[in-house]
Structure 1
Amino acid sequence: MPKLSVIIPCYFNEDNIPVTARELVANEANFHPEVTFEYVFVNDGSGDDTLGALQRAQTAYPSKIRIVDLAANVGSYNAIVAGMAHATGDCLAVITADMQDPPELMVQMYDYWKKGFKLVIGNRQDREETGLSRWFAQTFHWLMKRLALKNIPDGGFDFVFFDRQVNDEVVALQERNSNVFYLMVWLGFPYVNIPYVRRKREIGTSRWTLSKKIKLLIDSLLAFSYFPIRAISVVGLVLGGIALAYGLYIIALRLISPNEPAGWTTLMVVLLFVSAFQMVALGVIGEYVWRGLDAARERPLYVVREILN
């Protein structure tokens, strides 16, 4: 009998857990009776009573829920990798603890997996969220599709269903400062995507702050694209061409007229502009160097405090 492991990263989700566990277990009725289930909840160093809520849910569903309690907050994607490393299913899914993604979609995902697809993506065709969060998400995935992974679906995604082989490959990579969902696409297995509308969060407040979103954008872009480095080279060549042309212009003026042009304002503008570009270039290169150093240290992505079966 195929076993489905559902991985749910949790961070300050104390109020969500009872609803999430109940809806996930209720969703089992939509599957074929042959499927067995395992729910791997990963407590990502939450500062509230998320762990207590998970233990109460485990008491209510003792044969279904496993808890991976991390020693510290390591970020949603590292927490997902921790869940993947401790999941035992033949096929696996990742879903958020706030139930913004419809668990019933996993039934259709499972059917595609049975047909041989090793990766099934639930991509957000639209979202009920508004304001800055909606704009940032759209901009983020637009940039990634055009500058990094051109074969990712439109609208972004963090609701996936995948085969054990995909799981093992991603866990073996142990890649830092990356995007676990994009890594699944990067592996190269053919995938199918199912569009859906992401729900508005009803319980609790998102801890996905603007600073975390910006870090994710930088991490994802640098992990899957050489665009920043190449952009520096292109801008450097353009500035070099401008500098050469301006130098020839100054020489020509010097030869034509005995009075050398003052040029103080122009000189300062050029100097400040080039200096600013050099600082930006050093910052981008520093981001790559820091990531190389972080990988060379080979520190663990996460530390597990306790496994509760």
Structure 2
Amino acid sequence: MLISLVVPCFHEADIVRRFHSHVAREIAPLAPTAEFEFVYVDDGSRDATLDHLREIAATDPRVRYVSFSRNFGKESAMLAGLRHADGDAVVIMDADLQHPPELIERMITLHSQGHDQVVARRTRAGDRVTRTLTARAYYRLVNRLVDVELVDGVGDFRLLSRRAVDAVLELTEYNRFSKGLFAWIGFPTATFSYENLVREQGRSKWTFGKLLNYGLDGVLSFNNKPLRAALYLGLLLLGCAMAYTAWIVGDALVNGVETPGYVTLLVAVTALSGVQMVMLGVVGEYVGRIYYETKRRPHFLVSETNTSPRPAPGASPYPGDSLDSLGESVARTTPAA
């Protein structure tokens, strides 16, 4: 059985060699039962990450790499890795060694028992209390909204069978939220927990702003309940306005007309304006997603690679598209050995 290890990289020059050596050492005992290939995806790094990948590929024939023309984000990097992976099963893991390579053997064992997805769920041991509480509150909220179940601690570190990979590749939307996509495709899934590890080198690329945007993607990608909430809120405000109007008219008929207070008027106008802006923002987010989908742009552009993608599992979603419809419409070059 061929196992593909898909590894997105962004500014990992300080650790990618150590990562490769560590993983190669861990999978060596598995050689009698499985073959391995490495699929590294350089997400437009501006450091020496690509240079290291070239050198690793020159010394290890199992290594394949894809380099983007610019930074397209981790979602695009994972998509590119899945498209270039030839394995009967694919393991997605980060290059910072926070995903323990020692767990690959356990994943393969669970996969051999009939599971199409084997998910490693990290504990929150060692995390800041504020981050733990925020994450728990987010998952409780998002699971009340989205159409799939998202589990706290479950990320991209997982094994996917070939049919699970092909199912993910058939989902061609531009705005991708992989946690939701993995949950949406279903298939038999096994989950186990592992203790979170400290990043060995460098800093996390996930700033507060990126985490916030990623969280919003999770809320908006798998439901239309915010739009339904806007409708319900509009009906509620309309009912309140009609009741208030009836009260004002009745009070005027009984007690006569009095000069209304400006404070009440200003508060009402300001509050309703704020609600309208929020609702317009929600609608705008959905319209913006439709806008990006209709552009039919590729998910990423490849500037250099020593490999080629697998044929698409299904027909191209856009008539007239060629192989470049896989999200790689750019000339690909392979450097001389």
TM-score tier (shorter) = over 0.9
**TM-fit CA distance, 1:191:** 1.2
Equivalence for 1:122? 120
- Mind listing any 5+ residue stretches in structure 2 that lack a counterpart? 308-337
| Among candidates 60, 73, 85, match of residue 75 of structure 1 | 73
Pairwise mapping of residues 1-309 of structure 1 onto structure 2 (< 5 A)? 2-31=1-30, 33-60=32-59, 62-130=60-128, 134=132, 136-308=134-306
Which has the larger displacement, 166-175 or 63-72? 166-175
Q: CA RMSD in A?
A: 1.8
Structure 1: how far apart are the matches of 2:37 and 2:136? Answer: 33
Counterpart amino acid of residue 146 in structure 1: R
TM-score normalised by the chain length of structure 1: 0.93
Moved more, 214-223 or 51-60: 51-60
Larger deviation, residues 118-127 vs 62-71: 118-127
Gap change, CA 1:58 and 1:139, over 3 Å in 2? farther
Query: Which sits farther off after the overlay, 190-199 or 68-77?
Result: 190-199
Shift of 1:13: 0.6
**What is the CA-CA distance between 1:114 and the residue it aligns to?**
1.0
Higher mean displacement: 26-35 or 183-192: 26-35
Mean Cα deviation higher: 240-249 or 23-32: 23-32
Looking at structure 1, the residues matched to 255 and 179 of structure 2 have their Cα atoms a distance apart, in angstroms, of 64
1:13 touches 1:97 (CA, 8 Å); kept in 2?
yes
Q: Contact conserved, 1:129 with 1:200, CA < 8 A, in 2? A: no
Q: Distance in 2 between matches of 1:21 and 1:128?
A: 26
How far off is 1:172 after superposition? 2.3
Q: Equivalents in 2 of 1:23, 1:113: separation in Å? A: 22
Kept after mapping to 1: 8 A contact 2:44/2:71: yes
Which residue number in structure 1 is paired with residue 327 of structure 2? Answer: none
How far apart, CA to CA, are the structure 1 residues paired with 2:93 and 2:136? Answer: 20
Gaps of 5+ in 1: none
Contact kept, 8 Å, 2:119 with 2:192, in 1: the verdict is: yes
SS at match of 1:173: coil
TM-score w.r.t. length of structure 2? 0.86
Distance change in 2, residues 1:147/1:205 (3 Å): same
Q: CA deviation at 1:181?
A: 2.9
Q: Structure 1, residues 148-193: CA drift from partner, whole Å, max 9, x if none?
A: 1553333232211111111112122222222123202101223111
Q: What's the secondary structure of 2:47's corresponding residue? A: coil
Greater alpha carbon shift after TM alignment, 87-96 vs 262-271: 262-271
Contact 2:146 2:219 in 1 (8 A): yes
Distance (Å, rounded) in 2 between the aligned partners of 1:131 and 1:55? 41
- The alpha-carbon distance between structure 1 residues 132 and 71, as it changes in their structure 2 partners (threshold 3 A), is farther
C-alpha separation between the residues in 2 aligned to 1:286 and 1:229?
A: 10
* Percent identity of paired positions between Structure 1 and Structure 2: 33
> Residues of 1 paired with 2:180 and 2:126: CA distance?
23
Kindly state the Cα deviation for residue 31 of structure 1 after the two structures are TM-superposed: 2.7
Give runs of ≥4 in structure 1 deviating > 6 Å: none
The secondary structure found in structure 2 opposite 1:267 is helix
Looking at structure 2, the residues matched to 71 and 53 of structure 1 have their Cα atoms a distance apart, in angstroms, of 17
Aligned-pair distance for 1:273?
0.8
